[in-house]
Amino acid sequence: MNASLRLRAAIVSVALFLAFIGIWHIATRGTGAVGNMSPEYAKLMGLTATAGKSAMPGPLDVGAKLWEHLKQPFYDNGPNDKGLGIQLGYSIARVALGYLLAVIVAIPLGFLIGMSPLMNKALDPFIQVLKPISPLAWMPLALYTIKDSGLSAIFVIFICSVWPMLLNTAFGVAAVRKEWIDVARTLEVGTVRRAFTVILPAAAPTILTGMRISIGIAWLVIVAAEMLVGGTGIGYFVWNEWNNLSITNVIIAILTIGVVGMLLDQILARFTRLVTFPE
């Protein structure tokens, strides 16, 4: 029953995909109406005006271009012409660095907040004010103080991924069942050992959920941040191809951003499953 449900769902998914591609193909097939113009003028106007080709690339154009990119993902022909793989690599590296910094800060701080009601109350107003700030609003301040666009992008990733992790860690730590703490207390387990052997495993599923939310936000923000700072990265690639008016490449970039985001989420989901315990 379960397998057949999965099979049926897969069939529907494929059907929807094919329908989408089909509609896309038909919609971008071409206008047909071609004006009569002199050969010199036609050279200037391009295929849209002369052959009635749609201004929007069709699925076949995108597919062909995607194949080109996949065949040569790591070429580097100077600052404005790098392979898709290189651009993605830059973005992933920035996300990884900023995210790692956020983990280093948020998890110990979340433990502190979760274990100490005093720190919880004392830090709460700061968190409440800082949390809703759009990460990109930090960008000018980061550029001004750090004076390096690459590092500024990493800082923006850090600042946007820190909050969900911090809040989830604090919540997870504070919500550890009292009886488990009592077990550790009756066994005279010290604070550090208690933190690692009782609180960390008990709060791990909640912490990992926070980390999963964070990686999603970080991946959303990196594209926007790279559009601003420029130079390298998938976000810059999107903006550069928009300036080149290569809608095909823009569509390909959108697609790859989605696929990479999904992979990052799946990795964290797998980690979450590893630390989740049945009760």
Partner 1 sequence: MTDKFISIEAIAKRYPGASGGEIAVFENLWLSMARGEFGCVIGHSGCGKTTVLNILAGLDEPSEGAVIVDGQAIEGTSLDRAVIFQSHALLPWRTVLGNVAYAVTSKWRDWDRARVKAHAQTFIDLVGLTGSEHKRPSELSGGMKQRVGIARALSITPKIMLMDEPFSALDALTRGTLQDEVRRICLTTGQTAFMITHDVDEAIYLADKIFLMTNGPGAVLAEIVENPLPKDRGRTDLHRHPYYYAVRNHIVDFLVSRSKTFAADVPGHDPRNVPVVRIGVSEPTIVAAPRAIETHPAQTIAR
Residue ranges binding partner 1 (CB under 8 A): 177, 179-180, 182-183, 185-189, 197-198, 201-202, 275, 277-279
Nearer to partner 1, 101 or 181 (CB): 181
Give the single-character DSSP code of 195. Answer: I
How many Å apart are CA 77 and CA 239, to the nearest integer? 18
- Backbone phi, then psi, for 56, in 5-degree steps? -90, 130
3-state secondary structure of 255: helix
Considering the complex, state which of residue 95 and residue 208 has its C-beta at the smaller distance from partner 1.
Answer: 208
Cβ at position 272, least distance to partner 1 in Å: 14
Return the number of the residue (40 or 279) whose C-beta is nearest partner 1: 279
**CA pair distance 233, 265, nearest whole angstrom:** 19
- Smallest distance from partner 1 to CB 194, Å: 10
- Closest distance of CB 183 from partner 1, Å: 5
Q: Token pair of 189, please?
A: 């387990």
Helix axis angle for 200-229 and 247-275, nearest 10°, is: 170
Q: Under DSSP, is residue 86 helix (H, G, I), strand (E, B) or coil?
A: helix
- By beta-carbon proximity to partner 1, the closer residue of 151 and 275 is 275
Angstrom distances, CA of residue 89 to CA of 103, 108, 225: 21, 29, 15
Minimal distance, residue 278 CB to partner 1, in Å: 4
C-beta closer to partner 1: residue 204 or 218: 204
Q: CB 185 → partner 1: shortest distance, Å?
A: 5
Q: Is 156 helix (H, G, I), strand (E, B) or coil?
A: helix
Q: Smallest gap, in angstroms, from Cβ of residue 276 to partner 1?
A: 9
d(Cα 105, Cα 169) in Å, to the nearest integer? 11
Q: Is the CB of residue 268 less than 8 Å from the CB of residue 212?
A: yes
* Closer to partner 1 by Cβ: residue 181 or 260: 181
